Amino acid sequence: MKSNKKIIGIIVNPRKEKVHTPLESLDKWISQTKPDAEFILCTYNSIYVKKRYKNLPLVCEEEILNKSEVIVTLGGDGTILRTVHSIGSSEIPILGVNLGGLGFLAETAPDMLTSHLQAYLSNNYVIENRTMMKCHVEKTNYTFYAFNDIVIDKAGFSRVIEIETHIDECLLNSYIADALILSTPTGSTGYSLSAGGPIVIPQTNVFIVNPICPHSLTNRPVVVPDDSVISIKVFTEYKEVNVFRDGQMDKSYPSGASFVITKGEYPAKLIKTKEKGFYDTLRNKLLWGKDFRDKDHWSYKNFKE
């Protein structure tokens, strides 16, 4: 007889050393509480997962994507980004467990995993729809998606590049700069923030256009509606420019390449507990209200694994 239980997939970042502890706790919790759910585990052959778990049968990523009602990621924000791209248009919700550093997306601490799973199984949660960004490379059949940001970069060349940018066919600027970041609200706390961009609440229906090291002091980040059509044409004295999506290299393109960026047809879905909101995350992750003179608060060791 086919089980009607919810199937929860667990995806592990194979580079995280701390993954054994939450897996051990989860396996024990399943044995003790017998939740109304089945769990399946993908470790990508992590060297840090040194045992088999009674209640967490090993499967491949494809099986998790095909069977799971929800996916739990054990890693950091990068693990969520990779999983979002693997999910694609399936719109499977993700519960992120933070085994990494800052963790704006992966908000669940390892010791809160079982309680947050219980909250999910008790319907005590919310699902946030996060905007995806779609990029079509003109004069090709190639289209890709980004959850955080798309970056058009000068490819290590010493000279700046020109990035002609139109919004809904109206010229915004021909940026002379090292690069241009096109960010979703979710990505506003990532690379764009480091480059002087604004923090944007995730549910805001906008994109951020943010030049990196522009050759003009008057150039500043611009926030545009996410139903805009952003057209980009790039010129370089070098042989190519690089395009990155969500921190990963996409492809290199020749001078004169054109891109059209729009809102994606489907969202990414993140599971959030009702006890914690985005403002709490900002306050805690950015240490707002802390004494900046206290070196222990600002030490890099606080953000290391």
Bridging pattern class, strands 125-130 and 149-153:
unpaired
Give CA–CA dist 135/93, Å, rounded.
23
Local structure of residue 266 (DSSP, 8 states): S
Q: Is 153 a catalytic residue?
A: no
Q: Which sign, positive or negative, has the C-alpha torsion 72, 74, 78, 79?
A: negative
In three state form, how does the secondary structure of 131-191 look? Answer: CCEEEEECCCCCEEEECCEEEEECCCCCCCEEEEEEECCEEEEEEEECEEEEECCHHHHCH
Give CA–CA dist 243/254, Å, rounded.
11
Judge whether 52 and 138 are in contact, CB under 8 Å: no
Judge whether 206 and 192 are in contact, CB under 8 Å: no
Catalytic residue from among 27, 36, 77, 111: 77
Judge whether 200 and 223 are in contact, CB under 8 Å: yes
The number of CA neighbours under 13 Å toward the Cβ of 109 is: 6
Catalytic sites, residue numbers: 77
